[in-house]
Structure 1
Amino acid sequence: MIYIIGAGAIGQALAVMLHYAGKEVMLIRRTPARSLPITVQLPAENLEANILVGTLADIGHGPVLITAKSFANAAIAVKLRDVKAPVVLLQNGLGIEAPFSNQSLYRCVLLVTSQFDGEGVVRFKPVSACPVGTIRGNQLDELVKTLDNPWFRFEAVSDIHPLVWKKAIVNCVFNSVCPLLETDNGIFHRNAQALAIARRMIDECAAVAAAQGFSLTVQEIEDSLLHISRLSDGQFISTLQDIREGRPTEIDTLNAEIVRLAGKLPVSETRLLGELTAIKSKLNLTT
């Protein structure tokens, strides 16, 4: 059995795709239910399935995939303290693996976009195969073989850390600019002014990455940003979805974490846009 903690747009889409790939899968959520009917809208087809639902108490020996928001990781790690199965983090952000100390642990860099399009309907767009790398453990190849499927592709990489940084920088841009402009991911390949802001943020964040020992060129980060922007045109970034639904966001593990790591390095635009996004998130919270 594959367990997915987090029944958001990514978790639901992945559950259906693993089901279609012939895997036994269970969605883990706080609200108990026997099954959840889900339709995944892909560019070329729709996938429909009733997915088994359980709670944290139902987790057994299969791999545990975490697609919940990263701010929940501390609480999730406590619940998983005695679980011996490998844990895979399918989340954005820097430092999100810190609460997990007892398990075989792996990180996946998500290169897909997914959003709800009505009750039980998820609109999913793949961008590229999602790299998975080892934080702690020796089951990487087996895990990737288990997870990979024709709709949501995974690939093993020898060093996940530079890719985590590159995606975190890209997400700092998407998850602050798009919510503040109330627009979709395609804004950066459509609008020169938005791209100019993105370039200034990338310059700041790349310098912080270099200070942390990760040499990423500004051009490769911009290329990644534009690639995602083009392939997810019309899709809304998760932070904007969360703000609209009155939910907490992950901005603290993105812009705020970059600012924390920057020390005396100048990150004024990354800081300002992150802080404005955090304020907007708090103003829209419903709980």
Structure 2
Amino acid sequence: MRIVIVGGGAIGRLFGSYLARGENEVTLLDTDEQVIGAMRDQGIGVVASATDDPDEVTPVPVSAVTDGMLIKECDLVMLMVKSFDTRCATRSVAHLIDANCPLLSIQTGLGNIELMEKVVPKEHILAGFTFKSGTALGGAKVRYGREGKTYLGELNGKVTERVQKIANVFEQCGIETKISQRIVGRLWCKVIVFSAINPLSSLLKVPNGCLTSKMESITLMKRLVDEGRAVAEAYDIDLVYDDLNELLFEACQKSANNLSSMLQDILNDRPTEIDAQNGAICRFAARRGITVPTHETMVELVKLLEKWRPGMEQF
């Protein structure tokens, strides 16, 4: 399959390496010329999670470009960018999207599908997310992190030939994949859970597993989950999991040694996705007149972290 991955960050490199090693024709698209140059010269550099030596790298050759217009045709486009880049990234590949080449979002956040719909027809969009994780290292290297399922599905809940074909390709490449007929509800569940994990891990600067070791952090995460659930219920979202707190603890335990993506962004002086996670829950809440003070506080604190870096002038 000819696959274009938009976004050369940790998740884009992670999926790119799996799919390329599965003998698919993979092209990475990113605006970072340094990353794309490294991919062209050396491929994606895979560092296994079991090793601490970043020099023990397995190169995986891929194509890489900074201009989407250089790509003339493909069978699948995967959007793996931060939520604040969704609209621009979709525009960069809009000429490729049609009935024979769907656009699959693999993102954790609310509002991405709506942004994509403003650029390409809704019927050409698939939704998805993953519990796999990785850490972007220098150049085009990626360290494999937590194993986990990848979920994808049609927005209307149907199991179509195209979504089955993509799932088969993923599975053949070693990406554990499940087709979901309730993909929107599953996405809300993940956002609610990780909107509890991500900002708190960023503020405390600890791996995810530490969050379940203190009663104060457990209480705070549960409060965030409860507020998120109330917002979802106000919109009649079909939440797949009855016990989101159980999902929360499971996520923390399975990624116990991982730094959350939001904490990685803070440590690397990059903008976070706070607006697409806690911020999105706040926006949805406001439309229904629901109060979510804990989420509002998380947004304010993380935005302060983004602005105040060590060594920066405070006044």
Larger displacement relative to structure 2 (135-144 or 274-283): 135-144
Pairwise CA distance, 1:257: 0.9
* Contact 2:20/2:61 (<8 A) preserved: no
Larger displacement relative to structure 2 (31-40 or 82-91): 31-40
* Contact 2:186/2:240 (<8 A) preserved: no
Counterpart of 2:69?
A: 57
Which among 186, 191, 211 is matched to residue 214 of structure 2? 191
* Contact 2:47/2:58 (<8 A) preserved: yes
Counterpart of 2:48?
A: 41
Which among 228, 233, 237 is matched to residue 205 of structure 1? 228
Pairwise CA distance, 1:82: 2.3
Which among 122, 125, 139 is matched to residue 142 of structure 2? 122
* Contact 2:47/2:142 (<8 A) preserved: yes
Is the helix fraction higher in 1 or 2? Answer: 2
* Contact 2:201/2:211 (<8 A) preserved: no
Structure 2: which amino acid aligns with 1:20? R
Pairwise CA distance, 1:245: 1.2
Mapped partners of 1:150, 1:81: distance in 2: 26
For residue 169 of structure 2, give the secondary structure of its aligned residue in structure 1: helix
Structure 1 residue runs of 5 or longer lacking an equivalent are none
Structure 2 residue runs of 5 or longer lacking an equivalent are none
Counterpart of 1:231?
A: 254
Mapped partners of 1:225, 1:46: distance in 2: 33
Structure 1: which amino acid aligns with 2:92? K
Pairwise CA distance, 1:172: 0.7
Counterpart of 1:79?
A: 92
Alignment of structure 1 residues 134-145 onto 2, 5 Å: 134-135=154-155, 138=160, 139-145=162-168
Pairwise CA distance, 1:206: 0.5
Give the 4+ runs in structure 1 shifted more than 6 A.
none
- For this pair of structures, how many residues does the alignment match? 286
Relative distance call for 1:202 and 1:238 in structure 2 (3 A) is same
Mapped partners of 1:2, 1:146: distance in 2: 11
Aligned pair 1:109/2:132, yes or no?
no
Which among 75, 83, 96 is matched to residue 70 of structure 1? 83
Which among 269, 272, 282 is matched to residue 297 of structure 2? 272
Mapped partners of 1:99, 1:215: distance in 2: 21
Mapped partners of 1:62, 1:13: distance in 2: 19
Pairwise CA distance, 1:57: 2.0
Matched residues, percent identical? 24
Larger displacement relative to structure 2 (29-38 or 197-206): 29-38
Q: Deviations over 1:247-271 (max 9, x none)?
A: 1111101111101111221211111
Larger displacement relative to structure 2 (260-269 or 73-82): 73-82
Alignment of structure 1 residues 119-198 onto 2, 5 Å: 119-135=139-155, 138=160, 139-149=162-172, 151-198=174-221
Counterpart of 1:93?
A: 109
Q: TM-score, normalised by structure 1?
A: 0.90
Counterpart of 2:25?
A: 24
* Contact 1:201/1:269 (<8 A) preserved: yes
Pairwise CA distance, 1:219: 6.0
Structure 2: which amino acid aligns with 1:10? I
For residue 98 of structure 1, give the secondary structure of its aligned residue in structure 2: helix
Q: TM-score, normalised by structure 2?
A: 0.83
Mapped partners of 1:37, 1:50: distance in 2: 6
Structure 1: which amino acid aligns with 2:69? A
Q: Deviations over 1:154-211 (max 9, x none)?
A: 2211120110100010121122101000111112333322111101111111000100
For residue 251 of structure 2, give the secondary structure of its aligned residue in structure 1: helix
Q: CA RMSD in A?
A: 2.5
Larger Rg: 2
For residue 2 of structure 1, give the secondary structure of its aligned residue in structure 2: strand
Structure 2: which amino acid aligns with 1:28? L
* Contact 1:189/1:229 (<8 A) preserved: yes
